[in-house]
């Protein structure tokens, strides 16, 4: 895969192939290990370590200033903040923080996560989505996967943060546009958690950066 990297990048940048077409030509790319390696080839950055370490580093401040929100925003955040006050696993804590961050940025969880009790979602309806199959108790998911252009890939993930970072890896590998309804969420993923192209920020994400670094 390293030897054919330049060929793939030329195909992606010049041809903008459909995901199905690209997956047929380069099936080996669509596994967790190769997504991380492809991201490193493109950016020189270790995808998993950078994303998770920055998410964990910012978590205390994110929780602190989310707790100060009142009004409609505070009402939306309250169930997730209440969950974060419990003795959660690190995976469940990361999941709750990411979901709370989406709400804090004025966007909708449902635009990124499609939660269902069993494998009942029509994946063909989605361009970019994380499919989450909840357990019977409604707590930690029993399965999570990525949907791109109506194709489900990487099933079997139980770690929502890991699914999100792999989604970012695929976005870079395939040169995909961020969903317009989640532009701030993906901007934070890219410019704060992965620290890529972090000089030019939208006003909303700039404000978030100032609060995180204060």
Q: CB-based contacts of 195: which residues, under 8 Å, 6+ apart? A: 45, 50, 54
Asked if pLDDT for residue 117 goes beyond 90, the answer is no
Average pLDDT, the chain: 91
Asked if pLDDT for residue 124 goes beyond 80, the answer is no
Mean pLDDT to the nearest integer, 142-153: 88
Q: What is the pLDDT of residue 156?
A: 82
Q: CB-based contacts of 168: which residues, under 8 Å, 6+ apart? A: 39, 47, 51, 186, 189, 190, 194
Task: For residue 170, name the pLDDT band (cuts at 50, 70, 90).
Answer: very high
**Degrees, nearest 5: CA angle 23-151-54:** 85
Q: What is the pLDDT of residue 111?
A: 95
Token pair recorded at residue 176? 């995909």
Q: What is the pLDDT of residue 120?
A: 61
Q: What is the pLDDT of residue 116?
A: 76
The region of weakest confidence among 35-44, 50-59, 164-173, 191-200 is: 191-200
Q: What is the pLDDT of residue 135?
A: 65
Mean pLDDT to the nearest integer, 53-76: 94
Task: For residue 121, name the pLDDT band (cuts at 50, 70, 90).
Answer: low
Q: Each residue of 175-206: pLDDT tens digit?
A: 999 999 999 999 999 999 999 998 899 999 99
User: What distance in Å separates the CA atoms of residue 97 and residue 149, rounded to the nearest whole number?
Assistant: 27
Write down the pTM of the prediction: 0.93
Place of tokens 């620290």: 195
Selection from 73, 127, 126, 82 nearest residue 101 by Cα: 73
Q: What is the pLDDT of residue 141?
A: 63
Asked if pLDDT for residue 138 goes beyond 60, the answer is no
């Amino acid at each position: 895969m390293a030897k054919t990297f330049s060929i793939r990048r030329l195909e992606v940048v010049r041809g903008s192939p459909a995901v199905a077409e690209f997956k047929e030509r380069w099936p080996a790319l669509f596994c967790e290990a190769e997504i991380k390696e492809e991201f490193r080839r493109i950016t020189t950055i270790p995808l998993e370590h950078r994303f998770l370490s920055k998410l964990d580093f910012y978590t205390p401040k994110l929780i602190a200033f989310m707790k100060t929100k009142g009004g409609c925003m505070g009402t939306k955040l309250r169930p997730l903040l209440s969950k974060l006050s419990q003795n959660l696993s690190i995976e469940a804590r990361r999941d709750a923080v990411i979901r709370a961050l989406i709400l804090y940025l004025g966007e909708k969880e449902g635009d990124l996560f499609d939660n269902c009790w069993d494998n009942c979602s029509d994946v063909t309806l989605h361009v970019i989505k994380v499919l989450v199959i909840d357990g019977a108790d409604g707590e930690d998911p029993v399965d999570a996967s990525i949907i791109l252009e109506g194709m489900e890939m990487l099933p079997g993930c139980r770690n929502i943060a890991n699914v999100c970072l792999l989604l970012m890896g695929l976005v870079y590998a395939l040169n995909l546009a961020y969903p317009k309804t989640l532009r701030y969420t993906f901007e934070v993923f890219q410019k704060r958690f992965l620290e890529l192209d972090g000089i030019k920020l939208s006003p909303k994400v700039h404000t978030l950066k100032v609060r995180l670094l204060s």
